[in-house]
Structure 1
Amino acid sequence: MSSRSRTTTTAAAPPPPAVNVFLKLLPITLAVFIGFLTIGLPLPVLPLHVHDGLGMSTLVVGIVIGTQFAAALLSRAWAGNLADTRGSKRAVVTGFLVASGSGVAYLASLAFPGSPETSIWVLLLGRVLLGCGESLVVTGALSWGIGLVGPQNAGKVMAWVGTAMYGAYAVGAPAGVAVNSAYGFAGISIAAAALPLLAWALVANVRAIAPTAVRRTPFYKVLGVVGGAGLGLALCSVGFGVITAFIALLFAARDWGNASLAFTAFGLAFIGARIFFGHLPDKLGGARVAAVCVLIEAVGQLLIWGSHTPAMAYAGAALTGFGYSLAFPGFGVEAVRRAPPQSRGVAMGAYVAFLDISLGITGPALGAVAGAWSVDVVYLVGTVAVASSLLVAVRLLTTRPQGAHHA
């Protein structure tokens, strides 16, 4: 009787899910944060290095920034299938090793001071390596996290992994300015090579999950399943893309000084939204949360476009970060609900591929817009694109699945 009572008590009092999810995801979250500093450190430095240091146009700046996202896009199918068939931990570890190579390429690009064109090509190689590494890390980390804590916590997984990613942007931007001031672009390059190796060491002893598939899933099949949610992600990601590629140039054009605080404002608002409201997509529904948050993000873009002072631009960056923060897992929860469990890695790869498409197009296309008109116009375009994702969220609300793929 006593044993039965104890069993009943144990079954009725599971550990608090939020704490359990947090602890299980903590090593992966920390590793993603450290690894993504490889992206965060050059954010405010690379556009100026290409534009001012190498004398290239804003179009070339956009191409250099966008190449990372294009490479990530082209490697998503491979990354997702690797996570499904060989294990998501292997995908993450491989991603860190590949990302480390980007720093080596950055350093090698400095060996051609008399040939800016050659330097750009070597930089582009580094951006390709970084894109492939980022693809493996993000796809693998999302799949790994969902495998560890269950698909019912998919929103929390995306919230914590995303917090790590954008926290690295927030910390990395001012840190990158400091490193660049002290050691130049060579210091940025060395840090970019070393940080992913430290991240790899953090997850070396974390429990792997069994592969979920025995054969490769055709990418186009899963792409169609998550396409609606992916379109919403693509449109709302334009707001993030124009801050990544052009905020430093906007500040330089207006003689406002250092733009790193704009990245910090974006990142801190992003993290704050995730910490205090990251549970809402799982609780209220992803599409409902996304619908509200893309409006907040659009207001942020509009504020940057009309800004007359750095403070207005910082406020716009913060609103953009806050809105985008929950739009990403909001649309992502809808993608997970529509995806078959055995293809979760490919599904996550397909979903994030829409982010790559968005950022890959945003860089060069809006770089051309900035060259033809002015750099502030890209934020007006960002406002329109982000606001358009509201239509997608409303559409998802009316076609929400009944949990067929939740198990």
Structure 2
Amino acid sequence: MTGLAPVVLAVFLGFLAISVPLAALALEVRDHLGFGAATVGWAIGVQSLATLLTRHRAGTLCDQRGPRAAVLLGLPLTACSGLAYGLSSVLLIDPAAKLAVLLLGRLVAGLGESLFLTGLMSWGIARVGAPRTGKVMSWTGIAIYAALGLGAPLGLAMQSAFGFVGVGAAALLTPMLAWVIALRLPAVPGAGGQRVPFHRVLGLIWRPGLVLALATVPYAAMAAFLTLDYAAHGWPRAGTALLGFGAAYVLVRLVGSGLPDRFGATRVAVGSLIFEAIGQLLIWCAPAPGMAVLGATLTGLGFSLVFPAMGVLATRSVPPEQRGRAVGNFIAFADIAMGVTGPVVGFAIQWFGITAAFLVGAGATCAALCLLPSLRLGRSD
């Protein structure tokens, strides 16, 4: 774990810049700028769309120039998104122009995240060895969702105390702390190899990637719309539910990371997705905030082991010289979910009400369950 610890810490700090604005962003776009749920969805989702379009390039950069180059470029770009968030709050311009600045920040964050996360995961695999890829996936996943769970209440607290400019300051500071850590780590060489077309890598990993995408939809729906759901019900402390998601996610990773090896990845994924679906249905029908917190917690508990199980399969499907591209393209499926869920759910909310977001999440997990029989996860199953 010694060789992996600084990488995990850098992932955590970098992802705080991604998670801190999420819950606060919905309130900023709707309550302060005056736009509707569909615009909220686009503001949340455009970052992941930008990330999706650049993941393969980020993986290629890792393979050809080494992961350090991608990380040292991506973290400062992510910090620039915080600067844009702050400017969108303080500039004396009309709401449409403020939204444009904010969206620019989201696009820059998407590019930065694509580079630093692909780089750090590839760097971690290179530092501890390819046979321990599952450990890298598990611990970087812990860092990501610990940051996502802690970032939401932190962002709402910063917004309450300092306005959206405080959110921007946090998103500026944390990736630069991660950059300092990365700067001190020794570089590892790139795997080299020829440029590989996107479709060739995608053809090897699309099934586990699609399961990941569908399993990510519940989190994407909560990140974009749970604060608005709480506001519609008149409930306080919306960040508590996302904190419950993150805490459950991390706890299951810490105590259950060996479950896919013991019982088989498909069996574990089936149980995980069932928990996710139950969690989403509880949020959908919650009469009180306590049940919504329970639903979010069950969602985090269920989602926790989907990422490493599918990630190990994805990286084992390609030769070593394409590992960075496999990591980048695998994570891109989560980007698809984050990018598409916001706009789609935003339109659904306009027709069926705010709680429709969580029915979409439950439906996505059921679709992932239907896809699992087509996977062949090797001897562990």
TM range (shorter): over 0.9
Q: Which residue of 1 aligns with 2:112?
A: 133
Q: Quote how far apart the aligned CAs of 1:112 are.
A: 4.0
User: Does 2:272 match 1:298?
Assistant: no
CA distance in 2, matches of 1:114, 1:212: 48
The answer to whether the Cα contact below 8 Å between 1:153 and 1:282 also exists between their aligned partners in 2 is no
Cα deviation 1:230-256 (Å, max 9, x = unaligned)? 111111111111111110010000000
User: Does 2:63 match 1:75?
Assistant: no
The answer to whether the Cα contact below 8 Å between 1:274 and 1:325 also exists between their aligned partners in 2 is yes
CA distance in 1, matches of 2:291, 2:197: 46
User: Does 2:220 match 1:241?
Assistant: yes
Q: Which residue of 2 aligns with 1:373?
A: 352
CA distance in 2, matches of 1:142, 1:280: 22
Q: Which residue of 1 aligns with 2:248?
A: 269
Q: Quote how far apart the aligned CAs of 1:382 are.
A: 1.0
CA distance in 1, matches of 2:62, 2:169: 29
Give the CA RMSD over aligned residues.
Answer: 1.5
Q: Which residue of 1 aligns with 2:161?
A: 182
Q: Which residue of 2 aligns with 1:219?
A: 198
Q: Quote how far apart the aligned CAs of 1:152 are.
A: 2.3
Q: Which residue of 2 aligns with 1:85?
A: 64
Q: Which residue of 2 aligns with 1:165?
A: 144
Q: Quote how far apart the aligned CAs of 1:69 are.
A: 0.4
Q: Which runs of 5+ in 1 are unaligned?
A: 1-21
The answer to whether the Cα contact below 8 Å between 1:143 and 1:348 also exists between their aligned partners in 2 is yes
The answer to whether the Cα contact below 8 Å between 1:286 and 1:333 also exists between their aligned partners in 2 is no
* Change beyond 3 A, Cα 1:205–1:282: farther
Q: Which residue of 2 aligns with 1:10?
A: none
The answer to whether the Cα contact below 8 Å between 2:244 and 2:293 also exists between their aligned partners in 1 is yes
> 2:74 is aligned with what amino acid?
G
**Which structure is larger by alpha-carbon Rg, 1 or 2?**
1
Query: How many pairs does the alignment contain?
Result: 380
The answer to whether the Cα contact below 8 Å between 2:266 and 2:372 also exists between their aligned partners in 1 is yes
The answer to whether the Cα contact below 8 Å between 1:102 and 1:192 also exists between their aligned partners in 2 is yes
Q: Which residue of 2 aligns with 1:400?
A: 377
Q: Quote how far apart the aligned CAs of 1:354 are.
A: 0.9
Q: Quote how far apart the aligned CAs of 1:41 are.
A: 1.5
Task: Give the counterpart of 2:16 among 37, 48, 67.
Answer: 37
Q: Quote how far apart the aligned CAs of 1:148 are.
A: 1.7
User: Does 2:309 match 1:326?
Assistant: no
Q: Quote how far apart the aligned CAs of 1:43 are.
A: 2.1
Q: Quote how far apart the aligned CAs of 1:166 are.
A: 1.0
The answer to whether the Cα contact below 8 Å between 1:70 and 1:356 also exists between their aligned partners in 2 is yes
Q: Which residue of 2 aligns with 1:3?
A: none
SS in 2 for 1:181: helix
Cα deviation 1:79-127 (Å, max 9, x = unaligned)? 0101110101221221101101101111221244441101111101100
The TM-score with structure 1 as length reference comes to 0.90
* Change beyond 3 A, Cα 1:109–1:207: same
CA distance in 2, matches of 1:280, 1:87: 32
Q: Which residue of 1 aligns with 2:210?
A: 231
CA distance in 1, matches of 2:10, 2:256: 23
The answer to whether the Cα contact below 8 Å between 1:102 and 1:126 also exists between their aligned partners in 2 is yes
CA distance in 2, matches of 1:256, 1:286: 38
SS in 1 for 2:23: coil
CA distance in 2, matches of 1:209, 1:286: 31
CA distance in 2, matches of 1:264, 1:63: 23
The answer to whether the Cα contact below 8 Å between 2:90 and 2:165 also exists between their aligned partners in 1 is no
The answer to whether the Cα contact below 8 Å between 2:87 and 2:165 also exists between their aligned partners in 1 is no
The answer to whether the Cα contact below 8 Å between 1:303 and 1:312 also exists between their aligned partners in 2 is yes
Q: Structure 1 stretches (4+) deviating beyond 3 angstroms?
A: 111-114, 281-288, 400-403
CA distance in 2, matches of 1:324, 1:180: 28
Q: Which residue of 2 aligns with 1:338?
A: 317
> 2:374 is aligned with what amino acid?
R
CA distance in 1, matches of 2:379, 2:215: 25
Cα deviation 1:175-218 (Å, max 9, x = unaligned)? 22222222111111122112111111012122222101233221
